[in-house]
Amino acid sequence: MRRRVMAASAAVGAVLALSGCAADASGQWQRWGLPEGVTEQAPLIGDLWVGSWVAALVVGVLVWGLILWAAIAYRKRNDELPRQTRFNMPIEFLYTVTPLIVIGVLFFFTVRHQDDILDESAPADVTVGVIGQQWSWTFNYVDEDVYDIGTTTEIPTLYLPVDQTVRFELDSPDVIHSFWVPQFYMKQDVVPGRTNSFQVTPNKEGTYAGKCAELCGVYHSRMLFNVEVVSAEEFEAQMEALRQAGQSGQIDAPLRGAYSETPLNEAGSDQ
């Protein structure tokens, strides 16, 4: 028995030490597993994430403690059936009211943060029309009147100017996708027949990965894109490059014919 307890605690210790080491290198340990946030809005979601973890841990420790205490204090000592308790009002009241309070607190903070995260009252500097199509992304730079279309074989890159508020307008011509840049701490569904939108202000230059977060068909896993957060000059240069490449105008979400380079067409099974 004692050997088993010692082995178990050694295993737990090893897991904690190893995960601590690996995560510490990137600072993820302090963010409770989140990658580094790169938008002005990211701390709002980060706080909610960390707060929820702390709350869950407090409840967890309390519950584990009570389980452990009950298991030890009321362990079987002889073959006599212990006194059976039913309808203990204080206990029933406690386990009805406590979860209500827990849910209420989580609900309050979620709604408050959600209102801030989805706030679109500030005018956006840049508007990007995002089309999620099976199985890639199209980016319409609305103000610049240029576009870029990705395919499953060529991952598109979304360019954004640093420290400027971007408004994303999400449309789909086929099925539900989900527009997700993990380091933005933000994800929103792309629904056919309905335009979803949100605003973020990227505040750190760099290259970030983006992906579809809603299982949308056979090549869902290839529905990737890159995000380049660059200086205003580099952003302008990229818009000019798209213009030079003949990619002026905007792609309309319902125009499925625009996406002729999907593997389905390559395989000839779309016809």
Cα–Cα distance, 136 to 221 (Å, whole number): 10
Nearer to Cu ion, 144 or 214 (CB): 214
Nearer to Cu ion, 126 or 223 (CB): 223
Count of CA atoms in the C-beta half-sphere (13 A) of 208? 26
- The distance of closest approach from Cβ of residue 44 to Cu ion in the complex, given in angstroms and rounded to an integer, is 26
- The distance of closest approach from Cβ of residue 132 to Cu ion in the complex, given in angstroms and rounded to an integer, is 5
- The distance of closest approach from Cβ of residue 137 to Cu ion in the complex, given in angstroms and rounded to an integer, is 9
Nearer to Cu ion, 144 or 174 (CB): 174
Residue 106 CB neighbours (<10 A): 15
- The distance of closest approach from Cβ of residue 212 to Cu ion in the complex, given in angstroms and rounded to an integer, is 3
Torsion of Cα atoms, 253 then 255 then 258 then 262, to 10°? 80
Cα–Cα distance, 71 to 28 (Å, whole number): 36
Ordered strands of the 196-200 beta sheet: 146-149, 136-141, 126-133, 166-171, 196-200
Nearer to Cu ion, 167 or 177 (CB): 177
Which residue ranges make up the site for Cu ion (CB under 5 A)? 177, 212, 216, 223
